[in-house]
Chains A and B, each alone.
Chain A
């Protein structure tokens, strides 16, 4: 375990000494729970419509595919006209685009970012690396199937897919959300042990609580 995560005694500015246990004090340890939608169907449908028309992407480029997202913000493709926006913080984002290969080191950060997002949240796997490892199929430090570690709603295949393919993917994502099938967050909560076991199998320096939001 890293030095800064160990339990230590800290002296405050007023001279009082107290014990800090970083893993417990800095993180929340409550496991995720399944969150049902609104009780009335028409309300949930309306919410799903709003969610589909206002997709906020976590601007966290994980692999080489991140470069395909940039043209979407600029005049050539301009994804903003479809209600797609980029947010700089996981708290405000709904859609996590895993753009390409994930090294195990990045996977750790991706998991933390995903768990900090608020439900309902969606994951898009971009590029063939997220489906079966792609050109990194025999690499020792990248993951091969993203779906084993995070609940993926949609894949956009290609190496790399062009920005048009991404736009088409967002449109498909909208259909999924509107049909009420974007329940990845609940899937993650239901199969929490399975996902955690998979994650811990590849992340060897696991120095964070099991659930950190």
Chain B
């Protein structure tokens, strides 16, 4: 197979656009949450300043090799997820490094960062981090379950494991989207989406008011800045998968920005309306409401 070297700078360009969009969108969503609480909210560029501040910290301490690697794994999870999925359908420049069967890889990358984070935060030795990891992993695992079911359902429906092929099958009008051809799978996946976005009602893991801030308790300075960068990339990368699988993908950047914004808004909307779940409540919620939907969608396909 001939590798196309030109893909590398193009992928980096995608990454650059997504990082900036992620920072701005993250701040915008935070601002909307603040407005819902009658606050003014942070400035739209606050996330950039925070990141620069964290990179500029003069001292940083380490707890060992995995403590270093935790944020690296997390960031590579986000970047990998983004790079192996076509961002813009039908565009040579922004199809990134996607290949046949990349759906399985994407599923893996969704979980990769969480696992890396668990190892890194575990080595920090802080009890809050350990409790945060236990909570986080159990919650994210249950939230991934309906998503995995939905993905299998979609893969069965289109008889392919290539994201590009799945997007291609949804072209030609809104009624061809998986949203309308397989609504149960989309419903299960969208419920799972809430659980992995780390927003209320499922943000007990990283909420500052709970076991203080959970896994990243010990992370600071440039470690934290790296994780902030990932916080910009990862949600967007995940939304790109959702958009490609369920909402017909995007064939240009404006469509991309619009769809990603709307999908992100779904989690923000639920977040400002509903109060926070405890971990066992959210696990029960996923198992009762989301998993049966996923199973049903597979059965019906």
Contact = CB atoms under 8 A, between A and B. Distances in A.
Interface of A: 28, 35, 37-38, 46-47, 50-51, 53-54, 59, 74-75, 78, 80-81, 83, 86-89, 91-92, 94, 118-120, 185, 213
Contact of B60 (A53, A59, A74, A118): A118
B57 interface: yes
Contacts of A94: 53
20 contacts: A50-B52, A51-B56, A59-B208, A75-B37, A78-B40, A80-B42, A81-B41, A81-B42, A83-B43, A83-B46, A87-B208, A88-B212, A91-B217, A91-B218, A91-B220, A92-B213, A92-B219, A118-B57, A118-B59, A120-B57
A89 B209 CA distance: 11
Contacts of A74: 39
B157 interface: no
Contact of A213 (B58, B61, B213, B217): B61
Contact of A89 (B34, B57, B212): B212
> What are the 6 tightest A-B residue pairs by CB atom distance, in nearest-first order?
A88-B212, A47-B56, A91-B220, A50-B52, A54-B53, A75-B38
B221 interface: yes
A54 B60 contact: no
Nearest to B124: A91
Interface in B8-41: 34, 37-41
Interface string B37-72: 111111100100110110011111100000000000
A120 B58 contact: yes
Nearest to B37: A75
A15 to B, nearest CB: 23
A83 B48 CA distance: 11
B224 interface: yes
Contacts of B61: 28, 118, 213
Contacts of B220: 91-92, 118
A75 B46 contact: no
Nearest to A90: B220
A59 B40 CA distance: 21
Given A28-B61, A80-B39, 13 more contacts: A50-B52, A50-B53, A51-B53, A54-B46, A54-B52, A75-B38, A80-B41, A88-B209, A89-B213, A91-B217, A92-B216, A118-B59, A118-B220
Nearest to A94: B53
Nearest to B129: A89
B122 to A, nearest CB: 16
A80 to B, nearest CB: 5
Nearest to A54: B53
B42 to A, nearest CB: 5
A94 B57 CA distance: 9
A88 B39 contact: no
B151 to A, nearest CB: 35
Looking at A28, A35, A54, A185, the one whose CB has the most chain B CB atoms below 10 A away is A54
Interface in B217-250: 217-221, 224
Contacts of B219: 91-92
Contacts of A46: 52
B147 to A, nearest CB: 29
A28 B42 CA distance: 37
Nearest to A82: B43
A181 to B, nearest CB: 15
Contacts of A120: 57-58
